[in-house]
Amino acid sequence: MVKLTIPAPELMYSGHSACPGCAPALAMRLMLKGLGPRTIVSVPACCWTVVATPYPTTALGVAMLDNPIESTGASISGLRAAADALGLTDVHILGFAGDGGTADIGLQALSGMLERRTNAIYAMYDNEAYMNTGVQRSGATPLGAWTTTTPVGDGARGKAEPKKDVMGIVLAHRPVYAATVNPSFPEDFVRKVEKAAALRGPRFFHIFTPCPPGWRYPSDQTIEIGRKATDCGIFPLYEVEEGRYHVTRKGGSLRPVTEYFQAQGRFSHLVPEDLARVQAQVNADWQRLLRLESGT
Amino acid sequence: MTLMVMSGNSAQAYAACRARVQVIAAYPITPQTSIVEELADFVAAGTLPAQFVKVESEHSALQVCISASALGARTYTATSSQGLLLMHELLHWAAGMRTPIVMGVVNRSVAPPWSLGADHADTMSQRDTGWIQFYAESNQEVLDTVLQAYRLAEDPAIRLPVMVTEDAFFLSHTVEPVEVPDPSLVDSFLPARDARAVLVPGVPARLGSFTGPKEYVEFRREVAKAMERVPEAFHRIEQHYQSLTGRSHGGAVSHYRTGDADAVLVTMGTMTTTARTVVDEMRAEGNKVGLAKLRLFRPFPAEEFRELARRTDRIGVVDRSFTFGAAGPAATEVAAALYRSSHHPVLSSFLVGIGGREVTPNHIREMFGRLLAGKGPETRWMDLPPPAEEVAHG
Amino acid sequence: MGATIEIRFHGRGGQGAVVASELLAQAAFLDGKRPQSFPFFGVERRGAPVTAYTRIDDHPLGIRTSITTPDIVVVLEPSLLRTQPVTDGLKEDGLLLVNTRNPAQELMIPVPARRAVVDANQIAVAHGLGSLTMPIVNTAVLGALVAASGVVSMTALDQAIEEFVPARQAENRAAAEDGYHAVRMVEANMPFTPPVPRAVGPTPQLPEGPMATLSSELIHTAAWRTLRPVVHLEHCTRCNFCWKFCPDDAFQFDEKGYPVVRYEYCKGCGICVVECPPRVIEMVEEV
């Protein structure tokens, strides 16, 4: 028999409509492995609206509700209110939204859900642009990235503004639990989901989800790019429980960010000076994270 | 049965309480606010064991109701004016999802300029979102219609959301006697929701879904067919309610002395009360006038107006809002209904009470007077001075 | 006044079928024609089947429907011949142009139309257009289309590529030129038998709301891939990384714990090849 490091049951069906090498598909697969079959997931307009396949089929082995792009936070508040009213005490309520639907147009509803202490999990799968509409910049698109609305040319060098700190916004609401997860580290991913599942109150996941067409890399590199993102310090893995930080992957010193940037076409126009600035920022952010963890 | 003096907003809250709603989404807006305040008190006092969700916008209020309803809960929210407009996208969602939400709407004018007065532009601009719409004349009618609305919304053959509207201040903040039915009576009229086609934990299903052109039209047709079943279902529901309470508000269109009338005014909401009194006065003076109160606006009861057109030669439709380039929205609906009739009475559109202006007995008399004098068809702003050429020529 | 020429393109998301239909329209315009081009308004996914249309006429077109009886069908990816009804409605005196390197096998399609083939993958790769797994073949195929049909002039196509292809214009022009010379007309190797009309089922009974309840495993996504993973089990360590990292859940295990690819769902992304610690999985070309 085979020894598995993550749960065997599959609650995401094959036959879905994700692009080859899609990390958001893996993110859903791992999230549902951690939460189990008595999950109700609310999905706004995002890649997963399409990935979940057209009527009359569904790609999820759980109950799924569609909601408009801006209202996921409110939707999971409504689902929890109904579950409480109907005596459904053993269900997990999950909002599963993209970065545009969370960091931009859905931020108000997310803030409302966190502030009113809805007993639910909100997961943002972050592919760092509006991918379902064909790669337009969002507030979560990183500095310098090419998208169709941040083109590269003589007068423009990709996105001119840095990425919005969604974890920082979420943590300002003091959720009971918030964590970063990455499908390249499935054991860490599922462990955090299982931990969150045992808690009550507002919980948040920031999921790092590389996108082959949108980030311009070959589909077989998805896991490798996700791994580089964490090991270069671009996307550190940590969790915050009742305000206490815990960095869950520390592999000695960080790898240079060039390894991450050079693997993706969306950054191909960046010059060494650009990457040096990114490296300095990543180093500073990493030190800040370690200080938050040590409480100094 | 308890007789209490209460506002229209209290009537909304008492009805939601008697309906044993399970999830309430609350966000304030003048002049709706006291509805959710009163519901908060009911919940805090333990009178109503509901989940009271304090949302950060009307948009989220309706999303909370949609999602809660999708899981099988009975839901209520209330709004007004700008708040209803912010809900616009979700109004379509609620109807397309077939969620039987009942929502109280206090009809208020739409900015700019800011104004708090009664005006039907807020709900009229949402008339094609797939919601059933009732307009109430009195606080009693507000309370009774909310209870009837739950029966209608949750009817297995309907399953559509309903708004029950009331004129700002003329009902929302006017107190008058209202009979509140006992809980046991309401329970026998309105049992717990028979939730169908809802999500069930542990059962894989996707509610909402997406389609190509292939099935989309079928789903829209299903909504349209459900709307077509509303008049018959509502008639049955109101008869049942009447058998329990002795009260009826007259169905989709309530007729008053229209049987032999030479001229009939069609009214909505609070102006109806004043108009009814004027009808009696003018009848006493020998004028054969009548009144048709339009209570159910969506689905529009077109057949009732074709029936009315067989009996009368002059109809004036009184609207508290307008449709640019045409007439009042109710007037355009009546005109559309009569196009398929072999009887084509003179049809005038009167715009009155916009932005919270009073609709006075003099207005009503003037409108009847114009109809009886053979004027029209015309579209006339009753609150404004007559057109200059009319003044010049007498 | 000439009749309208209707061309239907079939490709996969990422191959450039939609751009091909637009370029053809631009070229026709440069030839003095009144063209029209549009994609099928579906949801585009990299690798998923895509359809696009071009109409060409001497006069303004008076129709805005999709093309159901094309004069020409252009297939950018040969595996679509097996999985998509690409030849539906193709006129008897029409033309079927297929991008393939294996004409004998791929053209056993019972249509009476003339057939042309071009190995556009090889041309695209030679000019560095796209990747080995997903070459961007549209300009090479358009060159072949010009040679096989004369529907636009090569001068116009060349100019359209120069003006409207957003990047690597020189490589794309060279690819079109190569496609023009590489196209070959082939004989059908199967006699034509008229297709049997597909049975049209009754309109499905809709439930009481927009509720989807069937599993997406009814949908086979094998047609999305051009390469398939093959596991060489003799060196497999049963680490299950292939299963763990598969976005399509396309792996299961046999009773001994060895991975089994569920080929009906594998989209050929290649993650399993890269992530396999002992490197015992390889991608092989679909045939």
Span C209-240, pLDDT tens digits: 789 999 999 988 888 888 899 999 999 999 99
Whether residues B136 and B12 share a domain: the answer is yes
Whether residues B231 and B262 share a domain: the answer is no
Whether residues B374 and B285 share a domain: the answer is yes
Identify whether the C-beta of residue A189 lies closer than 8 Å to the C-beta of residue C104: no
Whether residues C159 and C245 share a domain: the answer is no
Whether residues B362 and B216 share a domain: the answer is no
Which member of A40, A61, A115 has the closest CB to residue B199?
A40
Structural domain of residue C133, as residue ranges? 5-186
pLDDT band at C46 (very low <50, low <70, confident <90, very high): confident
Tally the residues of chain A. Answer: 296
> Is residue C200 a part of any domain in this protein?
no
Question: How do beta strands A57-58 and B314-319 pair?
Answer: unpaired
**CATH code for the domain in which residue B222 is found:** 3.40.50.970
Q: How far is A252 from chain B (nearest CA, A)?
A: 43
Q: Does pLDDT of C199 surpass 60?
A: no
Q: What is the mean pLDDT of each run of 10 residues along chain B (394 residues)?
A: 95 98 97 97 97 98 98 98 98 97 98 96 98 98 98 96 97 96 98 93 95 85 96 98 97 97 98 97 98 98 96 97 93 97 95 95 97 95 85 65
What's the rounded Cα separation, in Å, for the pair C212 and B197?
A: 10
ipTM topping 0.95: yes
Q: Does pLDDT of C29 surpass 60?
A: yes
Whether residues C22 and C113 share a domain: the answer is yes
Q: Does pLDDT of A290 surpass 90?
A: yes
C39 contact residues in B (CB cutoff 8 A): none
Please give the structure tokens belonging to residue B342.
């072999």
Whether residues C64 and C158 share a domain: the answer is yes
Whether residues B297 and B231 share a domain: the answer is no
Q: What is the overall mean pLDDT for chain A?
A: 96
Whether residues C111 and C45 share a domain: the answer is yes
User: Between A and B, how many residue pairs show a Cβ–Cβ distance under 8 A?
Assistant: 155
Q: Does pLDDT of A20 surpass 80?
A: yes
Whether residues C174 and C233 share a domain: the answer is no
CA dihedral C262, C265, C267, C272 (to 10 degrees): -30
Q: Report phi then psi at A117, rounded to 5.
A: 60, 40
Q: What angle do CA C217, C218, C220 make, to 5 degrees?
A: 80
Which member of B156, B204, B207 has the closest CB to residue C210?
B207
- Residue B326 confidence (pLDDT): 85
Strands (DSSP E) along chain A, which ranges?
39-43, 57-58, 63-66, 92-98, 121-126, 152-153, 156-157, 177-181, 203-208, 238-241, 244-247
Cβ of B71 and A83 within 8 Å?
yes
Whether residues B230 and B270 share a domain: the answer is no
Identify whether the C-beta of residue C248 lies closer than 8 Å to the C-beta of residue C219: no
Q: How far is C78 from chain B (nearest CA, A)?
A: 26
Cβ of B204 and C215 within 8 Å?
yes
Cβ of A82 and B57 within 8 Å?
no
Whether residues B124 and B177 share a domain: the answer is yes
Whether residues C98 and C162 share a domain: the answer is yes
- Residue C1 confidence (pLDDT): 38
For B150, B168, B355, the CA distances from B105, given in Å and listed in that order, are 15, 9, 16
Q: Does pLDDT of A2 surpass 80?
A: no
- Residue C193 confidence (pLDDT): 53
Is C213 within 8 Å of chain B by CB?
yes
pTM: 0.93
Structural domain of residue B340, as residue ranges? 253-393
Mutate to test the interface with B, among C41, C44, C211, C213 (most CBs of B within 10 A): C211
**CATH code for the domain in which residue C232 is found:** 3.30.70.20
Which member of A14, A19, A57 has the closest CB to residue C45?
A19
Q: What is the overall mean pLDDT for chain C?
A: 88
CB neighbour list of residue B265: distance below 8 Å, 6 or more residues apart: B275, B289, B290, B291, B292, B315, B316, B317, B318, B350, B364, B367, B368, B371
Question: How do beta strands B51-54 and B23-26 pair?
Answer: parallel
Residues A229-265 have pLDDT tens digits of 999 999 999 999 989 999 999 978 999 999 999 999 9
- Residue A235 confidence (pLDDT): 98
Last residue of a domain, one of C169, C186, C203: C186
CB neighbour list of residue A191: distance below 8 Å, 6 or more residues apart: none
Residues A129-179 have pLDDT tens digits of 999 999 999 999 999 999 999 999 988 999 999 999 999 999 999 999 999
Fold held by A23-294: Rossmann fold (3.40.50)
> Is residue C207 a part of any domain in this protein?
no
Cβ of B67 and A75 within 8 Å?
yes
> Is residue C181 a part of any domain in this protein?
yes
Whether residues B235 and B195 share a domain: the answer is yes
User: DSSP assignment of B275-340, as one string?
Assistant: HHHHHHHHHHTT--EEEEEE-EEES--HHHHHHHHTT-SEEEEEESS--TTS--HHHHHHHHHHHT
Quickly count: other Cβ atoms within 10 Å of residue C8's Cβ: 27
Cβ of A112 and B57 within 8 Å?
yes
- 10 Å CB burial of residue B345 (0-12, 13-18, 19+) is buried
Scored b (16 or more CB within 10 A) or e, C173-202 reads bbbbbbbbebbeebebeeeeeeeeeeeeee
Whether residues B97 and B218 share a domain: the answer is yes
Mean pLDDT of A204-220: 97
Last residue of a domain, one of B244, B273, B303: B244
> Is residue C209 a part of any domain in this protein?
no
Residues B319-340 have pLDDT tens digits of 999 999 889 999 999 999 999 9
Identify whether the C-beta of residue C284 lies closer than 8 Å to the C-beta of residue C228: yes
Lowest mean pLDDT among B200-204, B251-255, C117-121, C129-133: C129-133
Q: What is the overall mean pLDDT for chain B?
A: 96
**CATH code for the domain in which residue B343 is found:** 3.40.50.920
What are residue B167's DSSP bridge partners? B107
Tally the residues of chain B. Answer: 394
pLDDT band at C85 (very low <50, low <70, confident <90, very high): confident
Work out how many domains chain C is built from and give that number: 2
Q: Which of residues 74-113 of C touch A (CB under 8 A)?
A: none
What's the rounded Cα separation, in Å, for the pair C132 and C150?
A: 30
- Residue B109 confidence (pLDDT): 97
Whether residues C174 and C223 share a domain: the answer is no
What's the rounded Cα separation, in Å, for the pair C260 and C276?
A: 14
- Residue C224 confidence (pLDDT): 84
Q: Does pLDDT of C133 surpass 90?
A: no
Which member of C213, C217, C268 has the closest CB to residue A15?
C217
Considering just the CA atoms, what is the radius of gyration of chain B in Å?
21
In chain C, % helix, strand, coil (3-state, to 5) comes to 30, 20, 50
A15 contact residues in B (CB cutoff 8 A): none
B69 contact residues in C (CB cutoff 8 A): none
Tracing tokens 């909100």 back to the chain, one arrives at A122
Whether residues B319 and B276 share a domain: the answer is yes
Identify whether the C-beta of residue B181 lies closer than 8 Å to the C-beta of residue B245: yes
Cβ of B204 and C209 within 8 Å?
no
Lowest mean pLDDT among B241-255, C42-56, C158-172: C42-56
Residues of chain A in Cβ contact (below 8 Å) with chain C: 1-6, 10, 12-23, 25-26, 29, 50, 52-59, 61, 134, 183, 186, 212-213, 218-224
Whether residues B211 and B272 share a domain: the answer is no
| B contact chains, 3+ CB pairs < 8 A | A, C
Q: How far is B155 from chain A (nearest CA, A)?
A: 20
CB neighbour list of residue A200: distance below 8 Å, 6 or more residues apart: A119, A176
For A33, B22, B209, C46, C213, the CA distances from A83, given in Å and listed in that order, are 21, 10, 21, 38, 21
pLDDT band at C78 (very low <50, low <70, confident <90, very high): confident
Residue C21, classed as helix, strand or coil, is helix
Whether residues C226 and C145 share a domain: the answer is no
Whether residues B372 and B309 share a domain: the answer is yes
